[in-house]
Amino acid sequence: MGSARASRRRYSIGIAMDWLFFVFAGLAAIWLAYLSLTETFDLGWWGLLFALVFWGLLAYLVLPRLHSILTTIYVPDYFIGRARTSDGLLGDPVNLALMGTGEQITQALEQAGWTKADPITAASAWRIATSTVRRQSYREAPVSPLLLFGRQQDFAYQQEVDGNPAQRHHVRFWECPEGWLLPGGHRVDWLAAGTFDTAVGLSLFTFQVTHRIDANTDIERDYIVETVVDADPRVVVDVIKGFSSGYHARNGGGDTIHTDGDLPIIDVRALPLREEDAPVREGTPR
């Protein structure tokens, strides 16, 4: 009895210390941004540079930290049909489910004309920035990370529109944990979130540079299903009607979104593995 009470006490002290440092870091970031802003008015033309520094601190340090603190308090830490941003904000709706392996999903998408997105690195981030400004094609442009099951997407695919990296169809994929079931008891292998980027702008919640998306996410969901099914008749689709109630909301960038709540399940298990994707038996030449 005494040891259990001591364990609860240590646990409570640990949580309190975590929150103390968490909140302190947020307040320190706000104070740093405030100092940068106030110094701006005393430096003439140099103030423009400090204003840029202030925006950078606000958009990429202060507001993300503040959202992280608040969303830890009020956003549920379980599946509710929405991905989350790295700051904890509710992101895009999870509007697709899939049955099959990652290799079969990749095959279905690529034969339907989709291109795998590059991972985010300093080089790819710089390339998408310059490509957007110059309106130069970047078919493999990276997509921002969203979290589901506590981790970033496993991979993402996209289709650029008219060679403009600011406009694209794109969809992120997460493999479901082993034994995990959808609400209602349905078993699926993967979940996905598909949206259409309409332009580049500033996030309403953090002021970071980001893609803005089309509000009607159902159109993009149905487009993804249509392209994959049209490319291969072996792909079959079932739909869970009313998987969630239809709703209007905003995603992590502040864009309006609305959906009817239906969840298509794309089954690609009938697709044979390509030779390069097939497992190699020991002693068997490739």
Predicted pLDDT at 74: 85
Asked if residue 47 has pLDDT above 70, the reply is: no
Predicted pLDDT at 151: 96
Every domain of the chain and the residues it spans: 2-74, 82-267
Cβ contacts of residue 228 below 8 Å, gap of 6+?
A: 108, 109, 112, 235, 266, 268
* pLDDT tier for residue 202 given thresholds of 50, 70 and 90: confident
| Overall average pLDDT of the 182-190 stretch | 95
176 in the Ramachandran plot: left (φ > 0), alpha (ψ -120 to 50) or beta?
Answer: beta
Cβ contacts of residue 112 below 8 Å, gap of 6+?
A: 227, 228, 230, 231, 232
Predicted pLDDT at 22: 64
**Which one is predicted more confidently, 67 or 5?**
67
* pLDDT tier for residue 277 given thresholds of 50, 70 and 90: low
CA atoms of 221 and 231, how far apart (whole Å): 16
Per-residue DSSP letter, 59: I
Asked if residue 134 has pLDDT above 80, the reply is: yes
| Overall average pLDDT of the 40-66 stretch | 74
Predicted pLDDT at 278: 54
Predicted pLDDT at 3: 46
Asked if residue 32 has pLDDT above 90, the reply is: no
Predicted pLDDT at 135: 84
Predicted pLDDT at 69: 84
Predicted pLDDT at 125: 87
Residue in the block written with tokens 């999870």: 94
The predicted-structure confidence for 231-244, as pLDDT tens digits, reads as follows: 999 999 999 999 99
CA atoms of 68 and 279, how far apart (whole Å): 42
The predicted-structure confidence for 2-22, as pLDDT tens digits, reads as follows: 444 444 444 567 666 666 766
| Strand 96-99 versus strand 263-267 pairing type | parallel
Q: What's the distance, Cα to Cα, between the start and end of the chain in Å?
A: 63
Q: Which ranges of the chain would DSSP assign to H, the alpha helix? A: 2-40, 46-57, 63-74, 102-111, 122-134, 217-231
Check: CB of residue 261 under 8 Å from CB of residue 247: yes
State what percent of residues in the chain have pLDDT above 90. 52
| Overall average pLDDT of the 220-236 stretch | 97
Predicted pLDDT at 174: 98
Q: Which residues of 186-216 are buried (b: 16+ CB within 10 A; e: fewer)?
A: eebbbbbbbbbbbebeebebbbbebbbbbbb
Predicted pLDDT at 221: 98
Cα separation values, 39 from 28, 50, 105, 206, Å = 17, 7, 53, 22
**Which one is predicted more confidently, 229 or 61?**
229
* pLDDT tier for residue 70 given thresholds of 50, 70 and 90: confident
Q: Average the pLDDT over each of 36-40, 103-107, 182-186, 188-192 and give the range with the smallest value.
A: 36-40
H-helix or E-strand containing 142? none
Size (the chain), residues: 286
